[in-house]
Structure 1
Amino acid sequence: MGTSRMFRIFLILGSAFMILLIIIYWDDVGASRLYLHTPVSPGPKTPHPPQQPRPHTSRTPSFLSDIDAFVNQFLEPETGEPTDPGPVDTTNQSERAEERYVPRQEWKIHLTPVAADLRERQDQRRRLLREMCANDSVVFPGKNRSFDDIPNKELDHLIVDDRHGIIYCYVPKVACSNWKRILIVLSESLLQDGVPQRDPLAIPRDLVHNSSMHFTFNKFWKRYGKFARHLMKVKLKKYTKFLFVRDPFVRLISAYRNKFELRNEDFYRRFAQVMLRRYANQSTPPASVDEAFSVGLHPSFSNFIQYLLDPQTEKEMPFNEHWRQVYRLCHPCQIQYDFVGHLETAEEDAEHLLRQLKVDNVVEFPSTHRNLTASSWETDWFNTVPIDARRELYKLYEPDFRLFGYDRPDSLLDE
Structure 2
Amino acid sequence: MGTSRMFRVFVVLGSAFMILLIIIYWDDVGVSHLYLHTPVSPGPKTPHAPPPQQPQTSRTPSFLSDIDAFVNQFLEPGTGEPTDPVPPDTSNQSDKAEERYIPRREWKIHLTPVAAELRERQEQRRKLLQEMCANDSVVFPGKNRSFDDIPNKELDHLIVDDRHGIIYCYVPKVACSNWKRIMIVLSESMLQDGVPQRDPLAIPRDLVHNSSMHFTFNKFWKRYGKFAKHLMKVKLKKYTKFLFVRDPFVRLISAYRNKFELRNDDFYRRFGQVMLRRYANQPTPPATVDEAFSVGIHPSFSHFIQYLLDPQTEKEMPFNEHWRQVYRLCHPCQIQYDFVGHLETAEEDAEHLLRQLRVDNVVEFPTSHRNLTASSWEADWFSTVPIEARRELYKLYEPDFRLFGYDRPEWILNE
Say whether the fold is shared (TM-score over 0.5). Answer: yes
**Contact persistence 1:80–1:225 (CA under 8 A):** no
How many angstroms does 1:107 deviate by?
A: 1.7
CA deviation string 1:176-203 (max 9, x = no partner): 0000000000000000111110000000
**Contact persistence 1:94–1:213 (CA under 8 A):** no
1:405 is matched with which residue?
405
**Contact persistence 2:88–2:108 (CA under 8 A):** no
**Contact persistence 1:79–1:225 (CA under 8 A):** no
CA RMSD, aligned part only? 12.9
Q: Secondary structure at the match of 1:212?
A: helix
**Contact persistence 1:168–1:243 (CA under 8 A):** yes
Q: 1:77 to 1:342 in 2, by over 3 A?
A: closer
How many angstroms does 1:321 deviate by?
A: 0.1
How many angstroms does 1:108 deviate by?
A: 1.6
Q: 1:114 to 1:91 in 2, by over 3 A?
A: closer
> Which deviates the most, 128-137 or 57-66?
57-66
How many angstroms does 1:42 deviate by?
A: 39
How many angstroms does 1:41 deviate by?
A: 36
How many angstroms does 1:64 deviate by?
A: 13
Distance 1:202 1:134 in 2: 43
CA deviation string 1:96-145 (max 9, x = no partner): 99999972476221100000000000000000000000000000000000
Distance 1:380 1:403 in 2: 26
> Which deviates the most, 249-258 or 28-37?
28-37
Q: 1:103 to 1:271 in 2, by over 3 A?
A: same
CA deviation string 1:222-258 (max 9, x = no partner): 1100000000000000000000000000000000000
CA deviation string 1:29-59 (max 9, x = no partner): 99999999999999999999999999xx999
Distance 2:90 2:34 in 1: 30
Q: 1:81 to 1:244 in 2, by over 3 A?
A: closer
Distance 2:277 2:253 in 1: 21
CA deviation string 1:339-370 (max 9, x = no partner): 00000000000000000000000000000133
Residues paired across the two proteins, number? 413
> Which deviates the most, 236-245 or 5-14?
5-14
Aligned residues: percent identity? Answer: 91
How many angstroms does 1:331 deviate by?
A: 0.1
CA deviation string 1:137-157 (max 9, x = no partner): 000000000000000000000
**Contact persistence 1:39–1:64 (CA under 8 A):** no
**Contact persistence 1:88–1:96 (CA under 8 A):** no
Distance 2:114 2:76 in 1: 47
Q: Secondary structure at the match of 1:105?
A: helix
Q: Secondary structure at the match of 1:243?
A: strand
How many angstroms does 1:88 deviate by?
A: 34
**Contact persistence 2:157–2:170 (CA under 8 A):** yes
Distance 1:116 1:42 in 2: 65
**Contact persistence 1:189–1:213 (CA under 8 A):** yes
1:50 corresponds to which of 40, 43, 52: 52
Q: Secondary structure at the match of 2:66?
A: helix
Q: Secondary structure at the match of 2:274?
A: helix
Distance 1:163 1:248 in 2: 32
Q: Which has the larger radius of gyration?
A: 2
Q: Secondary structure at the match of 2:8?
A: helix
Distance 2:131 2:394 in 1: 20
Distance 1:332 1:66 in 2: 28
> Which deviates the most, 200-209 or 2-11?
2-11
**Contact persistence 1:132–1:403 (CA under 8 A):** yes
Q: Secondary structure at the match of 1:341?
A: strand
How many angstroms does 1:266 deviate by?
A: 0.5
**Contact persistence 1:58–1:99 (CA under 8 A):** no
> Which deviates the most, 295-304 or 76-85?
76-85
**Contact persistence 2:250–2:373 (CA under 8 A):** yes
How many angstroms does 1:75 deviate by?
A: 24
Q: 1:322 to 1:81 in 2, by over 3 A?
A: same
> Which deviates the most, 152-161 or 42-51?
42-51
Q: Secondary structure at the match of 2:167?
A: strand
**Contact persistence 1:64–1:162 (CA under 8 A):** no
Q: 1:105 to 1:126 in 2, by over 3 A?
A: closer
How many angstroms does 1:83 deviate by?
A: 29
Q: 1:157 to 1:42 in 2, by over 3 A?
A: farther
**Contact persistence 2:82–2:164 (CA under 8 A):** no
The gaps in structure 1 that reach 5 residues or longer are none
Aligned 1:177-196 pairs, distance under 5 A: 177-196=177-196
**Contact persistence 1:343–1:371 (CA under 8 A):** no
**Contact persistence 1:261–1:298 (CA under 8 A):** yes
After TM superposition, the score normalised by the length of structure 1 is 0.77
Distance 1:131 1:404 in 2: 11
**Contact persistence 1:63–1:164 (CA under 8 A):** no
> Which deviates the most, 142-151 or 18-27?
18-27
How many angstroms does 1:72 deviate by?
A: 17
**Contact persistence 1:62–1:162 (CA under 8 A):** no
Distance 2:177 2:35 in 1: 40
Q: Secondary structure at the match of 2:60?
A: coil
Distance 1:301 1:359 in 2: 40
Q: 1:331 to 1:220 in 2, by over 3 A?
A: same
